[in-house]
Homo-oligomer: A and B are copies of this chain.
């Protein structure tokens, strides 16, 4: 019997989950829930597209619901609401608000007798796991996270809000010298500017002042002022042609020491190079849905993160097969 999976929200991430489910022998996409007109959504296989308004009717037909909305406005309300009715997975990624999100979801899921696994993806998610493992192994050391090369949605949005800008994409780029220093085990202290540069591709409105726009970008507090920023002005056509990709990635390092005089340095690096951010994130969420199903079957309720999930629960293979294949 395949597990019945539902998807809430069918943008890039939702489609990434749908693709990942096609590669999962033990799960099937049963329904997609949308705020749009369900008939306008093309869903794969035997899945049904439904209005989000009808979701309550699906409580006995969906084993795990994967929430594919955004962290800014969708998930803060959707995850608590739906975890009262379903076992759920989300990718809530506003780091500072995770404790608050966790508490709300935990209360709702417990009240409904369901299980929620939040903040799944790669950061938070796989990067978080690697930070935890590496810190447990090497309690004395330094952590480093680098992102990119990849598009930052938040920074692209910030540029688009500048008067005179019609469209923009912003790439976050790790600085090679900083990576080399961390990999060499020198435990460098790196400023914000030393870790990443920012590269912007901007389409201007007709008649806009390019120099003023570049200046507005480079001096923007929080987003750009602390970085070495490059601004390229391009046509809408060039932006669409060369900067529509969804590649991303990054690295998590822990550089720690052991020894009587702490004379031995160890560097742990976890690196992701992703052609498609939403398809990779969707693949993580899909593996997480499998773990939620198994934990819920065991009677678990409330909110969890990947920190609480035995790694074997993410796989469809048996424990003996896992030991034979991967140990």
If A279-B258, A323-B307 touch, whether A314 touches B136 (CB-CB below 8 Å) is yes
A165 within 8 A of partner (CB): no
Q: Provide the bound-state CA to CA distance between A58 and B327, in Å.
A: 31
If A139-B24, A280-B258, A283-B138 touch, whether A314 touches B133 (CB-CB below 8 Å) is yes
Q: Contact between B258 and A136 (Cβ–Cβ < 8 Å)?
A: no
Name which residue of chain B comes closest to A103, CB basis.
Answer: B320
A305 within 8 A of partner (CB): yes
If A132-B311, A287-B136, A310-B310 touch, whether A266 touches B258 (CB-CB below 8 Å) is no
Contact with B along A243-283 (1 / 0, CB 8 A): 00000000000000011100111111111111110011011
Q: How large is the interface on A (under 10, 10 to 19, 20 to 34, 35 or more residues)?
A: 35 or more
A20 within 8 A of partner (CB): yes
Q: Provide the bound-state CA to CA distance between A267 and B247, in Å.
A: 12
Complex copy number for this chain: 2
If A323-B98, A327-B119 touch, whether A310 touches B312 (CB-CB below 8 Å) is no
In the complex, which of the residues B19, B98, B269 contacts A258, with contact meaning CB atoms closer than 8 Å?
A: B19
Q: Which of A123-131, A169-177, A204-212 contacts B (4 or more CB under 8 A)?
A: A123-131
Which residues of A89-144 have CB atoms within 8 Å of chain B's CB atoms?
95, 98-99, 102, 119, 124, 126, 128-133, 135-140
Query: Can you list 16 A-B pairs with a CB-CB distance of less than 8 A?
Result: A19-B258, A19-B259, A24-B139, A132-B312, A132-B315, A136-B314, A185-B273, A258-B279, A258-B280, A258-B282, A266-B273, A266-B275, A267-B273, A307-B312, A309-B311, A310-B310
On A, residues with C-beta under 8 Å from B are 16, 19-20, 23-24, 95, 98-99, 102, 119, 124, 126, 128-133, 135-140, 183, 185, 258-260, 263-276, 279-280, 282-284, 287, 290, 305-312, 314-316, 319-320, 322-327
